[in-house]
């Protein structure tokens, strides 16, 4: 304690002997941390936004299927409509919206082309609440009601089929009896999502589709939405309890690619952090080594006066702790200020098409993630102090004989 009281003011004053150098180091540390925090916020906002946008198309946050449907989505793997217990669970489990859909692989045919697709029979009212497709109609209209037997197709599929609004297409789907059932549909609407999605999904009313393939009131899936991703695991648990014979999954287990992306986003932040940490380390070692070599005579003097080598080590380490701590503090404030400054959202609509590939929404909402503000600053502080141990060690080895040496 006595040593601390002796060293702390000494360390603090030593820091400001060369204000220019101290400020440069503070700058390096704080900008480094600031950029890590900003990148972390941005990436996480981006990941979340792009994930939400994709899930909003069709997947939602989770789905219920008959066991086996996910491996082989054909007509023999359908499920009955939800029974009372399941409906009760869906209505009370903290789920904000849910829909029942029939979805089967099929083939679409125009005068020019035949292409494989997935035909989805929906309840349009419910879809409007859970899916973004109804709002992505660029020509014509979305489906009217569950009885609507017309078709809504994707922009790119329309182009490939060389069909258009008001024309008819023929859809072929394997029916319950094993025969290929075919029917013609009026194209009443064209939606604009990403190309791969547009090429895959054709929407029609659920009841006409059930009638077409002769499955009664059977469905392929129930998709559900929860307000908070954090609540998802609990919801899945409750649904499993309510429907033990069905396959309840969260989105990560439905779209494996998205699950993997979700997991790797953090990796980008860590790569950035590693780069910044190398920069900060070099900066800190550099300045602290300079600061030590400049003061060889002075450390000799302190040693001659009765300072132990341990005191010198502590003094220089203390200086680093203060210097880097101050830089970390500034970086944290700058990081939080940046995020709050941009909390109205970053408007990406200007980048429009260029960013479509990332499927993010038009506006990114940055958030201060408290964990980031604990882990990253501590990591940088610790790293800074650890690398500064090397200069401190050099200082500790300076002999008291240096005090006698004439020139400095």
Shortest distance in whole angstroms from residue 309 CB to other proteins: 6
- Judged by CB, which is closer to other proteins: 168, or 310? 310
Three-state SS string over 70-118 comes to CCCCCHHHCECCCCHHHHHHHHHCCCCEEEEEEEEEEEEECCCCEEEEE
d(CA 66, CA 74): 11
Shortest distance in whole angstroms from residue 269 CB to other proteins: 40
d(CA 124, CA 130): 10
User: Do 319 and 292 touch, CB atoms closer than 8 A?
Assistant: no
Shortest distance in whole angstroms from residue 407 CB to other proteins: 9
Indicate the SS3 state at residue 30.
helix
Beta strands 201-205 and 114-122: pairing type?
Answer: parallel
- Judged by CB, which is closer to other proteins: 255, or 296? 296
User: Beta partners for 140?
Assistant: 189
Shortest distance in whole angstroms from residue 1 CB to other proteins: 11
Shortest distance in whole angstroms from residue 306 CB to other proteins: 3
User: Do 118 and 202 touch, CB atoms closer than 8 A?
Assistant: yes
Q: Tokens 């480094």 map to which residue?
A: 32
User: Do 70 and 139 touch, CB atoms closer than 8 A?
Assistant: no
- Judged by CB, which is closer to other proteins: 13, or 162? 13
- Judged by CB, which is closer to other proteins: 11, or 254? 11
- Judged by CB, which is closer to other proteins: 304, or 375? 304
Shortest distance in whole angstroms from residue 304 CB to other proteins: 5
Shortest distance in whole angstroms from residue 25 CB to other proteins: 18
> DSSP string of 106-173?
EEEE-SS-EEEEEEEEE-HHHHHHH-SGGGGEEEE----STT---EEEEHHHHHHHT--TT-EEEEEE
- Judged by CB, which is closer to other proteins: 17, or 129? 17
- Judged by CB, which is closer to other proteins: 306, or 352? 306
Shortest distance in whole angstroms from residue 15 CB to other proteins: 9
| Environment class of 263 (CB within 10 Å of its CB; exposed 0-12, middle 13-18, buried 19+) | exposed
- Judged by CB, which is closer to other proteins: 378, or 401? 401
- Judged by CB, which is closer to other proteins: 251, or 318? 318
Shortest distance in whole angstroms from residue 20 CB to other proteins: 16
User: Do 277 and 377 touch, CB atoms closer than 8 A?
Assistant: no
d(CA 41, CA 367): 6
Spell out a b/e string for 149-160, using b for 16 or more CB atoms within 10 Å of the CB, else e: bbbbbbbbbbeb
Shortest distance in whole angstroms from residue 292 CB to other proteins: 15
Which positions touch other proteins (CB under 8 A)? Answer: 2, 6, 10, 13-14, 17, 297-298, 301-310, 399-401, 403-404, 406, 408
- Judged by CB, which is closer to other proteins: 40, or 302? 302
> DSSP string of 188-210?
EEEE-S-HHHHHHEEEEEHHHHH
Helices 309-341, 389-396: inter-axial angle, 10-degree rounding: 160
């Amino acid at each position: 304690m006595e040593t601390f009281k002796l060293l702390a003011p000494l360390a603090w004053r030593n820091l400001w002997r060369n204000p220019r150098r101290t400020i440069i180091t503070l700058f390096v540390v704080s900008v480094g941390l600031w950029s890590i925090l900003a990148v972390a916020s941005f990436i996480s906002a981006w990941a979340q936004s792009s994930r939400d946008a994709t899930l909003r198309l069709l997947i939602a946050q989770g789905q219920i299927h008959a066991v086996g449907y996910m491996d082989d989505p054909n007509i023999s793997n359908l499920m009955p409509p939800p029974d009372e217990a399941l409906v009760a669970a869906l209505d009370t489990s903290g789920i904000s919206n849910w829909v029942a859909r029939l979805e089967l692989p099929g083939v679409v045919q125009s005068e020019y082309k035949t292409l494989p697709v997935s035909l989805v029979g929906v309840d349009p009212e419910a879809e409007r609440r859970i899916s973004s497709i109804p709002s992505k109609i660029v020509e014509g209209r979305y489906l009217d009601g569950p009885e609507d037997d017309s078709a809504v197709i994707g922009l790119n599929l329309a182009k490939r089929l060389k069909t258009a609004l008001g024309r008819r297409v023929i859809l072929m789907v394997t029916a319950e009896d094993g025969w290929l059932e075919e029917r013609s549909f009026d194209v009443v609407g064209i939606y604009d999502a990403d190309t791969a999605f547009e090429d895959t999904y054709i929407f029609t009313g659920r009841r006409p589709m059930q009638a077409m393939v002769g499955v009664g009131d059977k469905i392929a899936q129930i998709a559900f939405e929860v307000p908070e991703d954090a609540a998802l695991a609990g919801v899945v648990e409750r649904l499993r309890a309510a429907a033990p014979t069905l396959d309840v999954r969260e989105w990560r287990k439905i779209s494996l690619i998205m699950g993997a992306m979700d997991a790797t986003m953090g990796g980008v932040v860590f790569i950035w952090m590693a780069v910044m940490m190398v920069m900060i380390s070099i900066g800190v070692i550099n300045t602290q080594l300079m600061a030590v070599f400049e003061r060889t005579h002075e450390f000799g003097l302190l040693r001659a006066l009765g300072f132990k080598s341990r005191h010198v080590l502590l003094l220089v380490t203390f200086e680093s702790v203060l210097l880097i701590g101050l830089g970390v503090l500034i970086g944290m404030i700058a990081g939080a200020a940046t995020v709050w400054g941009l909390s109205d959202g970053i408007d990406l609509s200007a980048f429009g098409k260029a960013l479509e590939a990332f499927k993010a929404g038009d506006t990114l909402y940055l958030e201060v993630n408290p964990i980031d503000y604990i882990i990253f600053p501590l990591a940088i502080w610790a790293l800074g102090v650890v690398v500064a141990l090397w200069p401190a060690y050099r200082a500790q080895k300076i002999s008291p004989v240096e005090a006698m040496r004439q020139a400095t």
